Amino acid sequence: MRPWFLESNRSDLRSFRNFVSLSGLSLTAVLRDLFMIRYFITLIFTLNTLMVLAQTHSGIQKQITGEVIGKPPGTDTLYFTHGSIDDKYYENGLPSAELTGNRYVVTNNLPYPQMYRVLFASDKGKLAFRMGFYFTDATTTSIKTNYSSDNCSEINGSTASEYQNKFIPFMTSGIAYDCKSKSMDMLYDDLGKKADTSLLNYTIQNPGSYVALWQLIEQFNDHGQSAVRQKTLTSFSNRIKSEKPWKILNKDFEDSKIKENEKFPDINLKNYDLSATKFIVPKAKYTLIDYWFARCRPCLDTIPELQKLYSAYKTKGFDIVSISVDETKNVLIWQKRVKEHGLVWTQYLEENNFQHNELGIKLFPTFILLDKEGRVIWKDFDLHDLDKFLVKNL
pLDDT in tens, 71-82: 988 899 999 999
Q: Is the pLDDT of residue 55 over 60?
A: no
CATH superfamily of 268-393: Glutaredoxin (3.40.30.10)
Sequence-distant (6+) residues with CB within 8 A of 91 are 110, 111, 112, 114, 244
**Are 230 and 349 contacting, i.e. CB atoms less than 8 angstroms apart?**
no
Q: What value does the mean pLDDT take over residues 348-376?
A: 88
Question: pLDDT-derived band of residue 182, with 50, 70 and 90 as boundaries?
Answer: confident
Q: Is the pLDDT of residue 186 over 50?
A: yes
The model's pTM is 0.80
Q: Is the pLDDT of residue 246 over 50?
A: yes
Question: pLDDT-derived band of residue 59, with 50, 70 and 90 as boundaries?
Answer: very low
Q: What value does the mean pLDDT take over residues 143-148?
A: 96
Closest to 348 in 3D by CA, of 320, 377, 368: 320
- List 66's β-bridge partners, or say none: 104, 143
Distance CA 314, CA 353 (A): 28
Q: What value does the mean pLDDT take over residues 295-305?
A: 96
Q: Is the pLDDT of residue 279 over 80?
A: yes
- List 263's β-bridge partners, or say none: 375
**Model pLDDT for residues 198-237, shown as the tens digit of each residue:** 999 999 999 999 999 999 999 999 999 999 999 999 999 9
pLDDT of residue 337: 97
**Model pLDDT for residues 306-341, shown as the tens digit of each residue:** 999 999 999 999 999 999 999 999 999 999 999 999
Q: What value does the mean pLDDT take over residues 102-111?
A: 96
Q: Domain extents for the chain?
A: 4-58, 62-160, 183-255, 268-393
Sequence-distant (6+) residues with CB within 8 A of 347 are 271, 272, 322, 324, 338
Range from 24-33, 111-120, 169-178, 259-268 that averages highest in pLDDT: 111-120
Q: What value does the mean pLDDT take over residues 340-347?
A: 97
Question: pLDDT-derived band of residue 26, with 50, 70 and 90 as boundaries?
Answer: low
Q: Is the pLDDT of residue 136 over 60?
A: yes
Q: Is the pLDDT of residue 290 over 60?
A: yes
pLDDT of residue 355: 58
pLDDT of residue 61: 62
pLDDT of residue 187: 80
pLDDT of residue 353: 81
pLDDT of residue 36: 53
The β-bridge relationship of strands 276-278 and 154-155 is unpaired
Higher-confidence residue of 21 and 271: namely: 271
pLDDT of residue 24: 52
pLDDT of residue 13: 39
- Which amino acid makes up residue 179? C
Q: Kindly state the percentage of the chain with pLDDT values over 70.
A: 84
Question: pLDDT-derived band of residue 90, with 50, 70 and 90 as boundaries?
Answer: very high
Question: pLDDT-derived band of residue 40, with 50, 70 and 90 as boundaries?
Answer: very low
